[in-house]
Chain A
Amino acid sequence: MEHQQRPCLSLGPVYYLWDGPKWRDFYFRIADEAPVAHVVIGETVCSKREHFIEPHVADVVERLEAAGKQVVFSSLAMVTLERESQRVRALVRDSTHPVEVNDLAALGLIKGKPHSIGPLVNVYNAATARLLAGRGAVNICLPPELPMRSVREIASSMPDVSFEVFAFGRMPLAISARCAHARSKGLVKDNCQFICGEEPDGLPLRTLDRQSFLVLNGVQTMSHSCVALVGELDDLGAAGIARIRLSPQDCDMVAVAKLYQSVMEGRLGSEEAIDRLQAIYPAAPFSNGFYHQKEGAAWIAKGRTAGLGL
């Protein structure tokens, strides 16, 4: 391409159950202070949680838009109940904002309307991306599992589509009909008492040898490590990636966004940025293994050899 536009930052949906006021105040601050261009909002993981944020959605949208952010509504990641199907249909039919598709139901219904594809839809190659673009996808956030080789291959074959890469946050690794989070507290999904709200940053699951490994977030299982593609930002820009996604953790996400912005503008070196990022989010080690075609938990320091970040 003749001129390479610098990627912009986007903020993914909050995957965790935060209570309504916490959720609202988080987005108010994002609106006022964070250098992100796109903000994806809405319950994505569990349909049972929707009522916690519903009273605050209108206020949050208004504040974000007043600050010049593009607001995108996230669709549910897993749809099995009739009630959930109806929610997805209503979202696709009535939404005045672009929708981010996270399940095949929304994908089928949304044909012909401009939309985004979320990182929970399996886009592993350009043939799939081309098919989705043909149905109206204008932005595709690639799955965290993809190595750089695939990212580059897909993005370069479709310069007209905006591609996005998951660059900060614990990775969504799996989703189940069963709620391991509720189960760990002696409850079942159908009578869960919203117990996942007790862990706004995920419930740590360690091995029997006390290695940090995963965290539970309701029906979703996430990595314990936090993806931090920082040293990789130049390469992503050169590959034509349009958006860099930050996935909210229970930390100062405004500071995270400012830090990524500084690195992307060349004002901050990546090694120093990683040190500062660790201070902003000390809860988890960083990983970038998938990007470098290794196990996802691995941390490959820039210019150094592989090491396993346990």
Chain B
Amino acid sequence: MELICPAGTPSAFREAVDAGADAVYCGFRDETNARNFPGLNFSRDELAQSIQYARKHGVQTFVALNTFMRAGDEALWYRAADDAVRLGADAVILADFGLMAYVAENHPEQRLHVSVQASASNRDAIQFLVEAFNAKRVVLPRILTTQDIARLTRQLSCEVEVFAFGGLCVMAEGRCSLSSYATGKSPNMNGVCSPASHVKYREDGEEMVSELGGYTINRFGAGEASGYPTLCKGRFEIDGAETYAFEDPVSLDIMDHLDQLRDAGVSALKIEGRQRGKAYVAEVVSILKKALSAEPAARPALISRLRLMSEGQRTTSGAFEKRWR
């Protein structure tokens, strides 16, 4: 299985290449991609240099253009696609049908991957994208079990990539406007979720309160580590009970499922985290690379090292196991 690694900056890109990534994915410095965070992403020149560096080391570059084009401003997305193709991207990762149609028509030779944001979760949906846009690979939404994935992969005429490590969306990706409901900014339209610009922390007696867009997302008692107020990882009140209603503040880790995913015919494993620093990227990539080729007996030691890197050091295999539902 290929290892697909995130890069939010040119230096993280080089680290990922050096650490053994098979492909690195990244985006332009604007709202054409779903990690549109301040200080992150690539200019055209930086992408050109990064692609050259990757080529020299036999590594591929995927360019994520995985937000939805704002009506009237489509040119921004079309230009980004043209430039990614011109600069030699090995694949573009797309979510918007209009943009897929543009690339399929204007750059028929360009390899097209379907972003997780397109939310293609079943055979008929994926076949539609293969037939309509000649998609070569689909990144599956994090709502399927490993059994679902195995069944699905056998029925497809394109490659399958799954998320293996990093942040975890609880909701079906590309179909969530919780963030914009509270802040006006969403992954689909602005490339951000629970944006820092709308986050506030305040002290209330002994407690630390985290807010997003004026809504309390969590309260932390004295001695409790406070976390970032990602909306779907918040603590809420339902019928008098206070609880993590959607998901605990955990991150995704399916290292225990590596063999099952390989047997299922999965082509590539994706690491989330373009917003992470280069040290994190390098460490995760090199451990994962080792884990992929390690004997099963040698894996637990590697995996426990990896888990130290996780958000809150707590992980879940999420929807990959049926009991998560």
Contact = CB atoms under 8 A, between A and B. Distances in A.
Contacts of B219: 208-209
B77 to A, nearest CB: 9
A177 B143 CA distance: 5
A154 interface: yes
Interface string A86-112: 001100000000000001111111000
B97 A78 contact: no
Nearest to A103: B125
A207 B217 contact: yes
Interface stretch (B22-30, B63-71, B84-92): B63-71
A184 B238 contact: yes
A206 interface: yes
Interface stretch (B127-135, B289-297, B306-314): B127-135
A270 B123 CA distance: 46
Contacts of A128: 68-69, 96-98
A105 B101 contact: no
A80 interface: yes
Contacts of B176: 173-175
B182 A125 contact: no
A250 to B, nearest CB: 17
B74 interface: yes
B273 interface: no
Contact of A153 (B72, B174, B235): B72
A213 B97 contact: no
Interface of chain A, main secondary structure = mixed
B245 A205 contact: yes
A162 interface: no
A77 B131 CA distance: 21
B216 interface: yes
Which of A109, A125, A210 has the largest number of chain B CB atoms within 10 A? A125
A177 B71 contact: no
Given A104-B125, A132-B97, A180-B245, A173 B177 contact: yes
Interface residues of B, number: 73
A39 B142 CA distance: 33
Question: Which among B118, B124, B143, B237 has the greatest number of chain A C-beta atoms within 10 A?
Answer: B124
A127 B69 contact: yes
A105 B122 contact: yes
Interface string A58-101: 00000000000000000000111110110011000000000000
A169 B153 CA distance: 38
A125 B319 CA distance: 31
Interface in B76-111: 95-99, 101-102
Nearest to A203: B238
Interface in B166-187: 170-172, 174-178, 180-184, 186
A127 B101 contact: yes
A210 B124 contact: no
B243 A79 contact: no
B242 interface: yes
Contacts of A183: 245
Given A80-B121, A207-B217, A124 B68 contact: yes
Contacts of B325: 177-179, 188-190
Interface in A145-183: 145-146, 149-151, 153-154, 171, 173-180, 183
Contacts of A231: none
B181 A295 contact: yes
A210 B237 contact: yes
Given A124-B189, A149-B71, A178-B324, A184 B184 contact: no
A296 B96 contact: no
Nearest to B240: A206
Contact of A127 (B102, B236, B246): B102
Nearest to A177: B143
A288 interface: no
A78 B247 CA distance: 20
A211 interface: yes
Contacts of A207: 215-217, 234, 236-237
Contacts of B317: none
Contacts of B234: 207
Nearest to B237: A206
Contacts of B323: 188
B127 A131 contact: no
A289 B184 contact: yes
Interface in B218-258: 218-219, 232, 234-239, 241-243, 245-247
Contacts of A209: 209, 216, 219
A108 B128 contact: yes
B122 A80 contact: yes
Given A205-B236, A213-B215, 8 more contacts: A85-B122, A108-B129, A174-B178, A184-B243, A221-B178, A296-B177, A296-B181, A296-B182
13 contacts: A82-B151, A104-B122, A124-B69, A126-B98, A127-B97, A173-B176, A174-B176, A174-B178, A178-B319, A188-B325, A208-B219, A208-B236, A296-B182
10 residue pairs, one from A and one from B, having the closest CB atoms: A108-B128, A127-B98, A104-B125, A177-B143, A105-B124, A124-B68, A150-B71, A296-B181, A128-B98, A153-B71
Interface of B: 68-72, 74, 95-99, 101-102, 118-125, 127-129, 131-132, 142-144, 148, 151, 170-172, 174-178, 180-184, 186, 188-189, 209, 213-219, 232, 234-239, 241-243, 245-247, 319, 322-325
Interface of A: 78-82, 84-85, 88-89, 103-109, 120, 122, 124-132, 135, 143-146, 149-151, 153-154, 171, 173-180, 183-184, 188-190, 203-211, 213-214, 216, 221, 223, 289-290, 293-298, 308, 310
